[in-house]
Structure 1
Amino acid sequence: MKKLVFGFLVIFLASCGGNDDKKSSNMYADFSISMDTVIVDSKNEILMAAATGSSAIAVSSNQNLLFNWDTKGANLEVIDLEKMELSEKIKVEKEGPEGVGENAYMIRPVAENRLAFLGWEGKISITDFQANILERINLREDWMSEGIDEKGQLNFLGFSKDGKKLYCTFMAFKKLDSDILELDLEQKTKRVIELPNFEDRDKYRVTWQIEGGGMSATFPSQDFTLWKDDILLATNYTNSIYHLNSEEDTLIYRQYDNALTPNSKSGSYQNNVDSREELQKVATQIREEINFGNLLWDDVNKVFYRFSYKAMPRIDGEELRHKTYLSILNEDFELVGEKETSDLISKIPNPQFVKDGKIHLFLNLDDELAYVRLTIES
């Protein structure tokens, strides 16, 4: 199948001028969105990337390659993002000395030319782009959790740009801990990075203690974004950001005010429920408040894009719809553009990357891998 592109232009006015302290003179005060769709040439192969969305993908640091981990078929699908076509499909060993792990369920990029296959029980296999094993990491090593066991089990969050440091969250469902742990893999040292302004995450946790010892829970995310040499830490319940500056080794708390949406969730909810039905009911109520996505860096236009959304009350027999919004931030994390995008995007926005100044939203188009490409035009 050849690469197909089709599109149209949608014009909006940005809604940044709602408050007196909003500046309307910047280049994104009024902007338009041009939109087209590109279908990835699958070379007559069945691409599982069309089915999985963003749960098991990794994009190379130069934005030229996208990797999709097909867990069931044990295949690594490599997409050439320059040509928008399947480059190769690599059969991956799961078991044995060269295996990435029988329970490897997700991949993430590491530095410029490596991948991390994440497995259950804290096991991580580092490979090259051909899935050849280079290193193994176990998050259950004693030195990693010694002295901080009470904070909860370590859960992978991300790597530093050079891959020498690994960042983890603490998994504790009875009360969320929003601090993160930085592990220096070469020196075998660690430090806890406190994020006190994210402590309200626990207000939006819902836990169901299942009879017999099991547990089910929903809770706000902890999001990790590499930006240049730095790290951005965020969560979906509020728009504020922690900026970890690697050169100065400083942690900066960044805030901005949205005009079209609240800056954060604000409702009061029951944290502990007694049934699956109660859990689903409370979780639905929380989703109907504002939710914030990851920050997406546009290296061409030198701005961040950030989607937000809230679920609309479901009408019987109708598909669940969302109100969606797009915010644009400059390099100083100041809001310079904002608009509602519900006419374009009525589902939860699923951007996978920004390339050549275009936001690429994942799309399954008749079981083919495709992308809706949004270009922001000032």
Structure 2
Amino acid sequence: MRKLFLFFLAPFIFSCGGNTSENAESGNILENLTLAIDTVVVDPKGEIIDLGYGINRSSISSDARTLYFFDMRKTMINEIDLDKLELIGSYPFSKEGPNAVGFNPPSIQSLANDRFLITSPMINVGTYTKNGQKEKSLKFNFKEIEGLGVDEEGLITNRITLSHDEKQMFALTRLDPSEKEVRLLIINPNAKTGKSIELPNMLQTLKLTLLLRLEEQKRMARTGENIWLRTMNEALHITSSVTSDLYVYDYKKDSLRLVEFEHQLVPKRKTGDFESNVFTDEKEFEDAMEKQMNQIAFRELIWDEQRKQFFRFGYRPIKDAEGNWYKRAEVYFFVYDADLKLLGEKFLPELTNVPEFTFFKDGKLWSYVNVEDELGFAVMELKF
């Protein structure tokens, strides 16, 4: 059995300039931001936590005390106590049969009472208990839900998210470069009714999703722009990698609002003047991709329950000598109040890449790190 250890880098402390009077005048509360960063490693209790696919298909419990890590190779959820930093349970699931989660790599959402929403794209959606039993099927065909008003075929599986009370299910229409609009789907799974709302400020995400099709070689490639759905504070937050604009859907009041920001340090969105975002020439695709990649990108919102504030990272990838984009980046940090008013922003030259799988726990910002193939987290204490 492997002994638990805490792997501390430093603590690494850095300060990001400014003075108090300038901070007050500028209204930028991150002007004097100071970070102290420790790195901790989880004790696997003699088991192997497979990090071959990262942890982006995992989920944090609502109280941020537990990480549910989905092992795609074993079709298993590993339960990790974030207070003790140790593996405390492993729960097998089935790819087929009456309790199947599906064969495509799933996403999971932690629900109350040790339950999960598990979505296998284009195959299956359902809620499951921790012991692998399917509790409720949420696998619906578009034509099965009355009132959606969208012309799309197949199963509704794109970005599936449940409201906190689980009475409403949210999804997006197909995020294909050829589509002319992006729509939010709002579904009552019990009544099998719903509606859709257009999200015009998310359309830029499709326009800047570049697609390469080489029919003869039977090859296809695309850039990784994204739209995320996430429920926080009993509201659905819709964010995109290509714009700082976001939508908030208050599902108790059935109201949608667009929130726009005027950032001082970065452009508010990516731009592009491509005649078409679908390419059949590899060189033209690579040239367009370079123009698109060499711009600001945004990550999801992160809620800090202790401060009652939202945070968000932005970044601009830097191409290295070998032509790789994701090894280094310029990293930016933003903070907003509970009503999403911009409070501060900061360029972080000390960070060489944007943190992955971020969440707040006890007022500190955690992010996933791979420490010599062991599951670890960088734990950042923010002072400003």
Query: Normalising by the residue count of structure 1, what TM-score does the alignment of the two structures yield?
Result: 0.89
Q: Would you say 1:289 and 2:295 are equivalent positions?
A: yes
CA contact (8 A) 2:168 2:188 kept: yes
Structure 2 match to 1:30: 32
Equivalent of residue 238 in structure 1, options 236, 239, 243: 243
Matched residue pairs, number?
Answer: 374
Query: Which shows bigger deviation, 297-306 or 5-14?
Result: 5-14
Cα distance between partner residues in 1 of 2:304 and 2:146:
36
Equivalent of residue 161 in structure 1, options 161, 164, 168: 164
Q: Would you say 1:247 and 2:252 are equivalent positions?
A: yes
Structure 2 match to 1:4: 6
Question: 1:193 deviation in Å?
Answer: 1.6
Cα distance between partner residues in 2 of 1:119 and 1:374:
33
The within-5 A match list for 1:264-275 is 264-269=269-274, 270-275=276-281
Q: Deviations over 1:75-112 (max 9, x none)?
A: 21111112111111222222222332344533222456
CA contact (8 A) 2:59 2:68 kept: yes
Equivalent of residue 204 in structure 1, options 203, 208, 219: 208
Partner-residue secondary structure (3-state), 1:238? coil
CA RMSD between the two structures: 2.8
Structure 1 39/314 Cα, relative in aligned 2: closer, same or farther at 3 Å? same
Cα distance between partner residues in 1 of 2:135 and 2:250:
28
CA contact (8 A) 1:204 1:286 kept: yes
Equivalent of residue 333 in structure 1, options 340, 348, 371: 340
Query: Which shows bigger deviation, 178-187 or 245-254?
Result: 245-254
Structure 1 match to 2:181: 177
The 4+ residue runs of structure 1 with deviation greater than 6 A are 14-19
Partner-residue secondary structure (3-state), 1:138? coil
Query: 5+ unaligned residues in a row in structure 1: which ranges?
Result: none
Partner-residue secondary structure (3-state), 2:166? coil
Cα distance between partner residues in 1 of 2:22 and 2:329:
22
Cα distance between partner residues in 2 of 1:247 and 1:100:
30
Structure 1 76/363 Cα, relative in aligned 2: closer, same or farther at 3 Å? same
Q: Would you say 1:90 and 2:95 are equivalent positions?
A: no
Q: Relative contact order (alpha carbons < 8 A, sep ≥ 6): 1 or 2 greater? A: 1
Q: Could you tell me which amino acid in structure 2 is paired with residue 321 of structure 1?
A: R
CA contact (8 A) 2:92 2:131 kept: no
Q: Could you tell me which amino acid in structure 1 is paired with residue 302 of structure 2?
A: L
Q: Could you tell me which amino acid in structure 2 is paired with residue 178 of structure 1?
A: V
Query: Which shows bigger deviation, 94-103 or 367-376?
Result: 94-103
Query: Which shows bigger deviation, 331-340 or 170-179?
Result: 170-179
Equivalent of residue 192 in structure 1, options 184, 193, 196: 196
Q: Percent identity, aligned pairs only?
A: 24
Q: Could you tell me which amino acid in structure 1 is paired with residue 226 of structure 2?
A: S
Q: Would you say 1:257 and 2:283 are equivalent positions?
A: no
CA contact (8 A) 1:256 1:333 kept: no
Equivalent of residue 302 in structure 1, options 308, 311, 317: 308
Equivalent of residue 44 in structure 1, options 46, 63, 67: 46
Q: Could you tell me which amino acid in structure 1 is paired with residue 70 of structure 2?
A: W
Q: Deviations over 1:303-331 (max 9, x none)?
A: 11100001113323888321111111111
Q: Could you tell me which amino acid in structure 2 is paired with residue 261 of structure 1?
A: V
Structure 1 151/96 Cα, relative in aligned 2: closer, same or farther at 3 Å? closer
CA contact (8 A) 1:54 1:352 kept: no
CA contact (8 A) 2:142 2:153 kept: no
CA contact (8 A) 2:102 2:123 kept: no
Structure 1 325/160 Cα, relative in aligned 2: closer, same or farther at 3 Å? same
Question: 1:146 deviation in Å?
Answer: 7.2
Q: Could you tell me which amino acid in structure 2 is paired with residue 265 of structure 1?
A: K
Question: 1:147 deviation in Å?
Answer: 6.5
Question: 1:343 deviation in Å?
Answer: 1.5
Structure 2 match to 1:342: 349
CA contact (8 A) 1:223 1:234 kept: yes
Query: 5+ unaligned residues in a row in structure 2: which ranges?
Result: none
CA contact (8 A) 1:122 1:140 kept: no
Equivalent of residue 13 in structure 1, options 7, 13, 17: 17
The structure that is strand-richer by fraction is 1
Structure 1 170/366 Cα, relative in aligned 2: closer, same or farther at 3 Å? same
Question: 1:291 deviation in Å?
Answer: 0.2
Partner-residue secondary structure (3-state), 1:225? strand
